[in-house]
Amino acid sequence: MTFSKAQDNVDVLDMIIFGGTGDLAMRKLIPALYMAFLHGNLPPSTRIISTGRQEIDREAYVAYVELHSRSFIAQENFNDKTWDSFVTMLGYVSLDVKATPDFDPLARVSRQGAVRVFYLSTAPSLFTTICTKLSASGLVDSRSRVVLEKPLGIDLRSAIEINEAVGSRFAESQIYRIDHYLGKETVQNLMVLRFGNSILEPLWRASNISSVQITVAEEVGVGSRAGFYDGAGAMRDMVQNHLLQLLCIVAMEPPTSLNADAVRDEKLKVLRALRRFKLADIARDTVRGRYTRGVGGSKEVPGYLEERDVPVDSSTETFVAMRAFVDTWRWSRVPFYLRTGKRMVRRSSKIVIEFTNPPFQLFHQCSGSISNRLVIELQPEEAIKLQIMAKQPGSGMEMQQVTLNLDLGSAFQQRRAEAYERLLIDVVRGRLTHFMRRDELEAAWEWVDPIIEGWQQLNEKPRAYAAGTWGPAESFALLARDGFAWVE
Ligand code: NAP
């Protein structure tokens, strides 16, 4: 569906990116805006006004984008003519948000009557200042929207502070807290799979499901982001947002509609039903890890402590595995195993729903596991697979696991937009369903904070794992104890 002036109620759009020279803007935001433009999903009058501290003019910024962003647009989508039109939309205002007394230079270039989208792609520590100065310079009105990058704060207290500050300038319905996992086609499809079909939902409960696994594995190390990452770690950077959001979509009750609050109410209930960890639970059911020197791709890579800008005495984790429980009727006693890490064997994000075994073993098993699994792969490929048992050809009655592959790519001969593109279009259209509400975000921190504090109290040091592996041995033991294994 392309942009429609009448339907989307946005005539003139000013997209103002704070952090418009940063890594995220170059790798994701500008390419996503280009793709939205290419497919007619931006109002023709759109202007993209980037800001940053660099003292450069518009021409230099366009050259910067050519150099740092253009290569992140897939070749098959690149069109010289469209690109030339796209860059005419770009503008740049040099602004040190801390040093400058007001945002009047920005106010001078933003058009009267425009719907303003402020994309805050800077460190969250700047969000309060940015919102205060935006408001003081008269840039915020009832049609404005603000997009907040994750992670929002470093704990519940800082998240509340940011939410209070942003909330004093923008109504909750104007705030888009982004978690790009919610923009992934397969994640959105999971809701359709669950609530648009009648065959799965009766099975989607403790009586039929023995465990749920959620893995978000990265092949890359900390790269150039050590300055940020070392103060966060895998728990704050990944579990608090991406993994808990995925867990919510797996575990939520059917919402009464697709209205943003109806969906977010159900996700909030899941977060509130997550069993709190006591110290003994933390010691038993969580694993912190940190990569050591090993192999990444096909070459030798340094350990975390040897990475640039990582303090030698750092105790930050680059890996977390844990067993969690959602204390509801539907999920009573079903373990949810969560795992995320850097420098793992390969980039792989997936959700595995493991169904219970048949009550009686009638057939002989050829090899491997006998349980049915629904595997939802989120990246690098997006696919939904159902693993079922089938008879092995031959005279006997031996069974073997086979995979029914729901190939969404060939089922829909349509382009599948990247998460950031889809979410940016949602912002332009004023659709909040795939963004986090304040109470959701705070509930996630409420659950995560005691675990991080518990690690400190227990003096829980990260366990070593070699780069290029699936994490420390303790992570495998966590599942083996319950008779399960990570599905690779
Ligand atoms: P980054 O590469 O360090 O870029 C930071 C940006 O903020 C730059 O454009 C910088 O401008 C600007 N900035 C810094 N201090 C400023 C100030 N005082 N006044 C005005 N502008 C200032 O960071 P990033 O990786 O793009 O991350 C941005 C946000 O996205 C962070 O909240 C991060 O957690 C989040 N995020 C990033 C990624 C990612 O893959 N990069 C993924 C998920 C979430 P100058 O260039 O002029 O210094």
Q: DSSP letters along 263-300, please?
A: HHHHHHHHHHHBPPPPHHHHHHHEEEEEEESEEETTEE
Residue 296 has pLDDT above 70, yes or no: yes
Distance from residue 288's CA to the centre of ligand 1 (Å): 27
Whether the CB-CB separation of 401 and 387 falls below 8 Å is answered with yes
* Residue-level length of the chain: 488
307 lines ligand 1 (CB under 6 A): no
**For 299-304, what is the mean pLDDT?**
95
Q: Rounded distance, CA 169 to CA 146, Å? A: 10
22 lines ligand 1 (CB under 6 A): yes
**For 204-209, what is the mean pLDDT?**
97
Confidence category of residue 311, pLDDT binned at 50, 70, 90: very high
Number of helices (H), then strands (E), in the chain: 18, 18
Confidence category of residue 358, pLDDT binned at 50, 70, 90: confident
**For 435-443, what is the mean pLDDT?**
97
pLDDT score recorded for residue 10: 74
Distance from residue 20's CA to the centre of ligand 1 (Å): 8
24 lines ligand 1 (CB under 6 A): yes
- Return the ligand 1 atom nearest residue 124 CA: 32
Whether the CB-CB separation of 239 and 448 falls below 8 Å is answered with yes
Q: Rounded distance, CA 450 to CA 368, Å? A: 38
- Return the ligand 1 atom nearest residue 20 CA: 9
Distance from residue 127's CA to the centre of ligand 1 (Å): 11
φ, ψ dihedrals at 73, nearest 5°: -95, 125
pLDDT score recorded for residue 78: 86
Q: Which two tokens stand for residue 377?
A: 């792969």
φ, ψ dihedrals at 209, nearest 5°: -115, 125
Q: Give the residue whose CA is nearest to atom 38 of ligand 1.
A: 24
CATH superfamily, with its number, for domain 5-149: NAD(P)-binding Rossmann-like Domain (3.40.50.720)
Residue from 92, 98, 119, 122 whose mutation best tests the ligand 1 pocket (most atoms within 8 A of CB): 122
Distance from residue 223's CA to the centre of ligand 1 (Å): 15
CA 350 distance to own-chain centroid: 12
149 lines ligand 1 (CB under 6 A): yes
- Return the ligand 1 atom nearest residue 100 CA: 19
Distance from residue 122's CA to the centre of ligand 1 (Å): 4
Q: Rounded distance, CA 351 to CA 203, Å? A: 16
Instruction: Average the pLDDT over each of 2-6, 136-140, 161-165, 195-199 and give the range with the smallest value.
Output: 2-6
Q: Rounded distance, CA 15 to CA 114, Å? A: 10
Cα–Cα distances (Å) from 460 to 277, 285, 317, 341, 453, in that order, read 15, 12, 10, 17, 10
Residue 6 has pLDDT above 70, yes or no: no
Confidence category of residue 379, pLDDT binned at 50, 70, 90: confident
**For 148-166, what is the mean pLDDT?**
94
Distance from residue 475's CA to the centre of ligand 1 (Å): 33
Residue from 121, 148, 309, 436 whose mutation best tests the ligand 1 pocket (most atoms within 8 A of CB): 121
φ, ψ dihedrals at 144, nearest 5°: -70, 155
Distance from residue 26's CA to the centre of ligand 1 (Å): 10
19 lines ligand 1 (CB under 6 A): yes
Q: Which two tokens stand for residue 450?
A: 């005691």
pLDDT score recorded for residue 410: 78
pLDDT score recorded for residue 400: 87
- Return the ligand 1 atom nearest residue 123 CA: 32
Q: Give the residue whose CA is nearest to atom 47 of ligand 1.
A: 53
pLDDT score recorded for residue 411: 82
Q: Give the residue whose CA is nearest to atom 39 of ligand 1.
A: 24
146 lines ligand 1 (CB under 6 A): no
Q: pLDDT tens across 95-143, in order? A: 999 999 999 999 999 999 899 999 999 999 899 999 999 999 999 999 9
The single-letter code of the amino acid at 428 is V
Distance from residue 363's CA to the centre of ligand 1 (Å): 57
Residues near 353 by Cβ (< 8 Å), separated by ≥ 6?
Answer: 209, 212, 250, 373, 374, 375, 376
Cα–Cα distances (Å) from 444 to 34, 80, 155, 160, in that order, read 33, 44, 10, 12
150 lines ligand 1 (CB under 6 A): yes
**For 149-173, what is the mean pLDDT?**
95
What value does the mean pLDDT of the chain take? 93
pLDDT score recorded for residue 77: 80
Residues annotated as catalytic are 242
Q: Where are the domains of the chain?
A: 5-149, 182-480
Residue from 24, 69, 126, 130 whose mutation best tests the ligand 1 pocket (most atoms within 8 A of CB): 24
3.30.360.10, 3.40.1160.10, 3.40.50.620, 3.30.930.10: which CATH number matches 182-480? 3.30.360.10
The single-letter code of the amino acid at 37 is F
Interhelix angle 260-273/244-251, rounded to 10 degrees, is 100
Whether the CB-CB separation of 28 and 72 falls below 8 Å is answered with yes
| Helix ranges (DSSP H) in 27-155 | 30-38, 58-68, 80-88, 104-109, 127-136
Q: Give the residue whose CA is nearest to atom 6 of ligand 1.
A: 19
